Structure 1
Amino acid sequence: MRNIHFISGLPRSGSTLLAGLLRQNTRFHAGMSGPVGGLFNTLQGEMSGRNEYSVFISDAQRRRILGGLFDDYYGPEFTAGVLFDTNRLWCSKLRILKELFPEAKVIACVRHMPWIIDSIEQLVRRNTFQPSSIFNYQPGGTVYSRSEGLANGDGMVGFAYNALKEAYYGEDTANLMLLQYETLVSDPAGALKAVYDFIGEPAFAHDFDNVSYNADEFDLRAGTPGLHTVRRKIEVRERRSVLPPDVFRRFENDAFWRDSALNLRGVRVI
């Protein structure tokens, strides 16, 4: 019997780094965002009332089909006993995940918001000759239009941020934990201990000086080389933001998880 957990949260907040660490444990399978979330959404849509044949599909069948998606995708070629599926939309699916997998945990990676926008802008500038899939391969725009596009409700950051807030303030937080990027890079041992305690797995000796994850082919095809690059050694790296001061300030107060008074349901924040 395999256990499944979920990695979600904000982009550029350490989910690939976390996966790179977790996969050091041979009992675990973890990776970057994959196709299961999109398939899950599509199946939900196709079994809804917009499909004229949905009258022939019961909720019991919907449950089996959606749960079976994970069994079918993570088939016998995945031999790990503990699976982590990564996708930013999982924060918007806490209720249905609880119904399908009552024991599953959701680890939401978060980061001070200006540095998320900064990290994406830095990628764009670094890859001057390749328009990015993040902006639908459009070569125009400025740092202002890019930050606006990222932050709107359908944007790469805005959707994930709204999904995170929905999860954090919702009624299904018992299996939710927020892992701050700042904690992961400054105290990786403490961060991983918290993760293992949260998912109920025995401790494992991770190598924080030798983390490996390679998605170069995917990143190149997305027109964003370096999107999933993980530095081998985990350490805090100080640098100046590439954002104009007004753009940085716009997002400076968005880290709601840092205010304990707003943590109405006692969500674990590491």
Structure 2
Amino acid sequence: MRSIHFISGLPRSGSTLLAALLRQNPRFHANMSGPLAGMANAMLGEMSERNEFSLFITNEQRRRVLLGLFENYYGNEFKAEVIFDTSRTWCAKLPMLCELFPNVKMIACVRHMSWVIDSLERVIRDNALRPSSIFSFQTGGTVYSRAEGLANGEGMVGYAYNALKEAFYGAHAQHLMLLQYETLVSDPAKAMAAVYEFIGQPLFQHDFDHVDFDADAFDIRAGTPGLHTIRKKVAAPERATVLPPDVFRRFENDAFWLNAQANIHGVRVV
């Protein structure tokens, strides 16, 4: 099987930009979040003891079925030598991925939490006439209820944040690298060099002034045009937050990855 690695981490933290850059390399395939993580979860559930016939399913069979899912999903139409699959779920599945792919590497994109919430709120406001799938197309709510919904344990941000911590502090943390959004947009050459070193691939000269990625059809269907839009040129523009000060302050100390003493497994943070 070809090499497969994973992109995960927090939403609005550069995973789409990272995928857009990686796919400039003709040897690589990368994309925005896709269905494979959900399919793997469904297969795990169907092979569990909730299935009355699970007595006939061994762990080796489970492993082969899951490996077949990955191999057949990417199939022959993807000619790339190295595949990167993206999902916020993958951080929570790192033990499973290490069981399937002993040499797997996972790049988790991170960003100061206040700016993650800010970025999502900005997208919602930019589409004031279109309810978003992020909030199940509900039309009520305020910036406070939206921030609360995003940050709770089952929310879009809270789930990803907890999954990230699980991977960061877990027994398989040596397979993990954290890529800060702030590094990716301010020094993309440094960020990409770190990614190539981490996955053990020869460095490719990326074009940071002409980055292409089109997910307009997906974003429109989600009721959130612009959700995966990236700038043609990698840059770090300065802007003020759209969040009320108390909402912004609520999350400003949540960047646990910046605490070197808490990095008990020596996870590389770029």
Please give the range of the TM-score, normalised by the shorter of the 2 chains: over 0.9
**Superposed displacement of residue 51, structure 1:** 1.1
Secondary structure at the counterpart of residue 174 of structure 2: coil
Whether 2:6 is the aligned partner of 1:10: answer: no
**Superposed displacement of residue 103, structure 1:** 0.9
TM-score scaled to structure 2, two decimals?
0.99
**Superposed displacement of residue 96, structure 1:** 1.0
**1:181 equivalent in structure 2:** 181
TM-score scaled to structure 1, two decimals?
0.99
* Whole-angstrom CA distance in 2 between matches of 1:170 and 1:73: 28
**Superposed displacement of residue 55, structure 1:** 1.1
**2:62 equivalent in structure 1:** 62
Structure 2 counterpart of 1:44, one-letter code: L
**Superposed displacement of residue 54, structure 1:** 1.1
Secondary structure at the counterpart of residue 227 of structure 2: coil
RMSD: 0.5
Whether 2:245 is the aligned partner of 1:245: answer: yes
**Superposed displacement of residue 116, structure 1:** 0.2
Whether 2:167 is the aligned partner of 1:160: answer: no
Structure 1 counterpart of 2:87, one-letter code: N
Alignment of 1:99-138 (within 5 A): 99-138=99-138
**2:206 equivalent in structure 1:** 206
Between the aligned residues of both structures, percent identity stands at 69
Secondary structure at the counterpart of residue 52 of structure 1: coil
Secondary structure at the counterpart of residue 88 of structure 1: coil
**Superposed displacement of residue 104, structure 1:** 1.2
* Whole-angstrom CA distance in 1 between matches of 2:94 and 2:58: 21
**Superposed displacement of residue 94, structure 1:** 1.0
**Superposed displacement of residue 36, structure 1:** 0.3
**2:26 equivalent in structure 1:** 26
Structure 2 counterpart of 1:172, one-letter code: H
* Whole-angstrom CA distance in 2 between matches of 1:69 and 1:138: 34
* Whole-angstrom CA distance in 2 between matches of 1:103 and 1:230: 31
**Superposed displacement of residue 172, structure 1:** 0.5
**Superposed displacement of residue 53, structure 1:** 1.2
Q: Per-residue displacement from partner, 1:95-127 (whole Å, max 9, x unpaired)?
A: 111110011100000000000000000000000
Secondary structure at the counterpart of residue 83 of structure 2: strand
Structure 2 counterpart of 1:89, one-letter code: T
Alignment of 1:82-93 (within 5 A): 82-93=82-93
Structure 2 counterpart of 1:37, one-letter code: A
**2:39 equivalent in structure 1:** 39
Which runs of 4 or more aligned residues in structure 1 lie more than 4 Å from their structure 2 counterparts after TM superposition? none
Structure 1 counterpart of 2:113, one-letter code: M
**1:267 equivalent in structure 2:** 267
Q: How many residues align?
A: 270
